[in-house]
Amino acid sequence: MALANKKLYTITALIVILAIALATVAWLVLTYNSLVRENEKVDSQWAQVQNQYQRKIDLIPTLVSTVGAYQQFEASTLTNITQLRTQWMNATTTEDQVNVTNQLDSQLATIIVTYENYPELQSITAVRDLIYELTGTENRISVERMRYNEYVQDFNAHIKSFPASFVAGWGDFEEREYYQSPNAPPPP
């Protein structure tokens, strides 16, 4: 009888150990897969930001050719915008694209201020429509950047949370950077 109890105890112990091992492996797999999904969401959302930037970049040749005919717009501003467009298209990293976009925004703001200061420009349909299109695109970019930062926040919180932080370290998941506007205060 004692031998039967010992065998039963051994089998029960092995089943418990096996169940714990399987639960641990299942948890590791599920956590790893959720980190992969969140990382992909961040990448996908950044692609959406890039799509909206591309929309803006595609508007620039039409904007330059349309406003170039009016003396109120400085030729150097239009030249800078064209050069920045080329730099953005040739940028190889996200950081380079963001830096060029920030410079481009500054130059485009000059055009918008000029447009707002000259009522006769506001009466020209082609210029007005391009300015509206550009403004709408800026709004789309803002929304996509906000969503991107939300996904980055979720991902970063997950990889820092216990016990997922162990899986994040093991799986080489690194904290992602937020999109920072050049005029925004530095992160805490």
Reported as a pLDDT band with limits 50, 70 and 90, residue 18 is very high
Give the torsion through C-alpha atoms of 133, 151, 35, 178, to 10 deg.
Answer: 90
Of 69, 146, 59, give the one whose Cα is nearest residue 108: 59
pLDDT at 68: 78
Separation of alpha carbons 179 and 53, rounded Å: 13
Mean pLDDT score across all residues of the chain: 90
* Average of per-residue pLDDT across 82-92: 93
User: With 90 as the cut, is the pLDDT of residue 95 above it?
Assistant: no
